[in-house]
Amino acid sequence: MSELVRTILCEQKVTIFTVDGSLDLVMEELVRIRRELQAIGQNVNQTTRVFHSTAGTAARMERLQEVATAYREVGMKTDALLSIIAQFSKQWLQK
């Protein structure tokens, strides 16, 4: 505080830093979704490796079902991201 008073009295430039706490929850949600998408991607990669090393139509069909499920999860996470981005745009891109 005393440094601020000295700066003002000496008519020096005062720099003010502010933190917008309203973004904290948004950023936490985005980080969570990113981690979930990374985990889904790893699962798809593992399933693909198993698919290519598996002989037999039935076993391969099971792997394809796993990948289809993972892609549906990606779609839901993408929808959540788009929703967050839309809310963020409304809040921060107002004229």
pLDDT tens readout for residues 7-62: 888 888 888 878 777 778 888 888 899 999 999 999 999 999 998 898 889 989 99
Task: Give 13's contacts (C-beta < 8 A, 6+ positions apart).
Answer: 7
Whole-prediction pTM value? 0.64
* Residue 37 within any structural domain of the chain: yes
* Residue 54 within any structural domain of the chain: yes
Contacts of 76-82 with CB under 8 Å at 24 or more apart are 77/33, 77/36, 77/37, 77/40, 80/29, 80/33, 81/30, 81/33
Can you tell me the distance from the alpha carbon of 41 to that of 39, in angstroms, rounded to the nearest whole number?
5
Query: Which range marks the domain in which residue 61 is found?
Result: 21-92
Task: Give the chain's domain count.
Answer: 1
Q: What's the pLDDT band for 95 if we cut at 50, 70, 90?
A: low
pLDDT in tens, 53-92: 988 899 899 989 999 999 999 999 999 999 988 887 777 7
